[in-house]
């Protein structure tokens, strides 16, 4: 396998049961094998993607002192701006060569959450920034719900098993800016090798390449989606919940060749998190005599806090 598999969400939305189950088996098998797919016919249209990139580039072009007005270290960067080099991969000390922004959930009035999410932060210099960001957030959340429905069927659960946990969940939309590299990086990369924390991650095509995925044999391959597709991968929460049946594959963003150091890179992942009280205990459907339970019981909220400490966003 030299690239990530491509799947078509239209098949899952089809009234043809055979087509629907073909999608379920394609995406489930891909997630067992490599943990990544390229998804076409999602709910994020080209016009919205273009508008979002325009707003994101405008924000990161603001002066550093303006951006830092929107940094909220007291909430571990869960909303607003996180400045250059603050985050690092688990087990690393070098900060990644990036700065980013966080849009978060605006829950429904009847969501009955046991937690209170931080408020999103309005960027007063860019009147369309928050509006466009949250339109993209909702389109990606809707896409993610359907992907999780397919995965519920694949692992033997009822189709809407994840709906309650993922709807009004603690999901994050993270526009990232990797600035031009101006000097030898001293061991730092744009994003160090890591697995994502959440259930699934949905990534719209980045402005330049650099995303690589680690195959089972240890080889790194470039993850190159088809034009207009989303790259969607399994996160550590879902791997844990499925007792390692679905794989949270290690991936990274490598530095470009030296002759491309002057080019910035923009990337906008959507990290789909469940409600904090969701139990990530290994599902009985994924445990057998040949495949015994691999993980201790933990809730999504406990796991998230643990991992935010490990990557440097929460100070112990």
pLDDT tens-digit readout, 16-65? 999 999 999 999 999 999 999 999 999 999 999 999 999 999 999 999 99
Examine the pLDDT at 258 and tell me if it is beyond 80.
Answer: no
Q: How is residue 258 written in tokens?
A: 């030296």
Banded model confidence at residue 263, pLDDT cuts 50, 70, 90? confident
Examine the pLDDT at 89 and tell me if it is beyond 60.
Answer: no
Q: How is residue 210 written in tokens?
A: 């650099």
Examine the pLDDT at 256 and tell me if it is beyond 60.
Answer: yes
Q: What is the per-residue pLDDT for 72?
A: 93
Instruction: Count Cβ atoms within 10 A of the Cβ of residue 179 and give its class: 0-12 exposed, 13-18 middle, 19 or more buried.
Output: middle
Q: How confident is the model over 183-227, as pLDDT tens digits?
A: 666 655 556 788 899 999 999 865 456 788 998 888 998 888 888
In the chain, domain spans: 6-310
Q: How far apart are CA 28 and CA 262, in angstroms?
A: 39
Strands (E) located in the chain: 6-8, 36-40, 80-82, 99-104, 172-173, 176-178, 191-194, 200-204, 211-214, 220-222, 230-234, 251-253, 265-272
Q: How far apart are CA 316 and CA 308, in angstroms?
A: 10
How much of the chain, in percent, has pLDDT values that exceed 70? 89
Which stretch of DSSP H or E encloses residue 143?
Answer: helix 129-154
CATH architecture of 6-310: Sandwich (2.60)
Banded model confidence at residue 314, pLDDT cuts 50, 70, 90? confident
Examine the pLDDT at 240 and tell me if it is beyond 70.
Answer: yes
Which stretch of DSSP H or E encloses residue 59?
Answer: helix 46-60
What number is the average pLDDT over the span 227-238? 94
Q: What is the per-residue pLDDT for 76?
A: 83
Banded model confidence at residue 182, pLDDT cuts 50, 70, 90? low
The radius of gyration of the chain from alpha carbons, rounded to an integer in Å, stands at 19
State CA 246 to chain mean position distance.
16
């Amino acid at each position: 396998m030299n690239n990530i598999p491509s799947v078509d969400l239209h098949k899952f939305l089809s009234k043809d049961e055979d087509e629907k189950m073909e999608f379920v088996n394609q995406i489930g098998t891909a997630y067992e094998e490599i943990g990544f797919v390229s998804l076409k016919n999602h709910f994020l249209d080209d016009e919205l993607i273009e508008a979002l990139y325009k707003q994101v580039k405008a924000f990161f072009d603001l002066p550093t002192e303006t951006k830092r007005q929107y940094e909220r270290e007291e909430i571990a960067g869960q909303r607003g701006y996180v400045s250059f080099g603050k985050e690092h991969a688990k087990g690393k000390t070098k900060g990644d060569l990036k700065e980013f922004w966080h849009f978060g959930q605006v829950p429904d009035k009847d969501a009955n959450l046991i937690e209170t999410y931080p408020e999103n932060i309005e960027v007063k210099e860019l009147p369309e920034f928050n509006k466009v960001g949250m339109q993209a957030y909702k389109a990606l959340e809707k896409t993610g719900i359907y992907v999780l429905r397919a995965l519920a069927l694949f692992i033997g659960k009822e189709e809407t098993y994840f709906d309650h946990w993922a709807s009004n969940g603690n999901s994050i939309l993270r526009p990232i800016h990797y600035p031009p590299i101006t000097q030898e990086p001293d061991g730092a990369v744009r994003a160090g090798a890591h697995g994502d924390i959440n259930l699934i991650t949905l990534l719209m095509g980045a402005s330049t390449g650099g995303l690589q995925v680690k195959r089972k044999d240890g080889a790194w391959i470039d993850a190159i989606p088809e034009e207009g597709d989303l790259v969607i991968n399994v996160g550590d929460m879902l791997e844990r919940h499925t007792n390692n049946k679905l794989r949270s594959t290690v991936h990274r963003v490598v530095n470009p060749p030296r002759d491309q150091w002057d080019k910035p890179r923009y990337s906008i992942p959507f990290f789909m998190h469940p409600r904090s009280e969701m139990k990530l205990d290994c599902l009985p459907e994924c445990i057998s005599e040949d495949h015994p339970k691999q993980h201790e019981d933990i809730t999504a909220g406990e796991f998230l806090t643990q991992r935010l400490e490990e990557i440097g966003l929460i100070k112990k």
